[in-house]
């Protein structure tokens, strides 16, 4: 049976363990970096919980205000142009539709490429693979141009 001393894991050769002041300095530096990154997010959250006059009157508050429920309810269900709840539902429908569409196309194309032999099989595989890797945002403008070129747009 190995003793406790024998079971200790030694660092790999050439690796240096930081000890003492350099370890503390590294942690302080990382905490400072986290605060620098987190502060604008915190400020945006605080701004969303106070009234508009409180935001523009210096100094801007650094602690959340008392209008959290009121502001978020108004944004979710009233909005400026469209309620945020409607936009979230739209995003959910689009995301589910795109995911299901990609899965269906992937299954059908995988079936065709695996079970049927035809000229250019590898070329088609890589074309399908690369287009599935593209995010939908990259394909929006070309798709719009195709639809517009076919005169399939609805003009009000």
Q: What is the pLDDT of residue 136?
A: 75
Asked if residue 115 is part of any domain, the answer here is: yes
Asked if residue 39 is part of any domain, the answer here is: yes
71 and 31 housed in the same domain: yes
Q: What is the pLDDT of residue 110?
A: 85
Asked if residue 104 is part of any domain, the answer here is: yes
Q: What is the pLDDT of residue 47?
A: 93
The token pair at 47 is 């701004």
Closest among 134, 130, 137 to 109, alpha carbons compared = 130
Per-residue pLDDT of the chain (156 residues), as tens digits, is: 556 555 666 666 666 666 777 788 889 999 999 999 999 999 999 999 999 888 888 888 899 999 999 999 988 888 788 888 999 999 999 899 988 988 998 888 888 888 988 898 889 888 888 887 888 778 788 888 888 888 887 764
109 and 147 housed in the same domain: yes
CA distance 117 to 26: 58
Distance, C-alpha 98 to centroid of its chain: 16
The token pair at 53 is 């006059």
The boundaries of the domain holding residue 37 are 21-78
Asked if residue 3 is part of any domain, the answer here is: no
Number of domains in the chain: 2
Question: Residue written as tokens 């604008």?
Answer: 40
26 and 73 housed in the same domain: yes
Question: Residue written as tokens 């000890």?
Answer: 19
Asked if residue 8 is part of any domain, the answer here is: no
Q: Is the pTM of this model over 0.75?
A: no
- Evaluated on CA atoms 51, 56, 57, 62, the torsion sign reads positive
């Amino acid at each position: 049976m190995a003793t406790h001393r024998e079971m200790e894991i030694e660092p790999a050769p050439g690796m240096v363990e930081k000890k003492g002041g350099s370890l503390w300095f590294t942690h302080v530096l990382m905490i400072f970096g986290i605060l620098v990154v987190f502060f604008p997010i915190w400020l945006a959250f605080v701004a969303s919980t106070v009234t508009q006059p409180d935001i523009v009157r210096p100094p801007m508050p650094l602690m959340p205000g008392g209008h959290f429920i009121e502001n978020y309810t108004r944004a979710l269900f009233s909005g400026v142009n469209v309620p945020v709840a409607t936009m979230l539902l739209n995003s959910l429908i689009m995301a589910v539709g795109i995911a299901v569409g990609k899965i269906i196309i992937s299954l059908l194309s995988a079936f065709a490429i695996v079970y049927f032999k035809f000229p250019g099989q590898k070329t088609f595989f890589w074309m399908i693979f690369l287009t599935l890797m593209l995010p939908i945002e990259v394909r929006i403008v070309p798709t719009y141009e195709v639809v517009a070129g076919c005169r399939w747009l609805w003009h009000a």
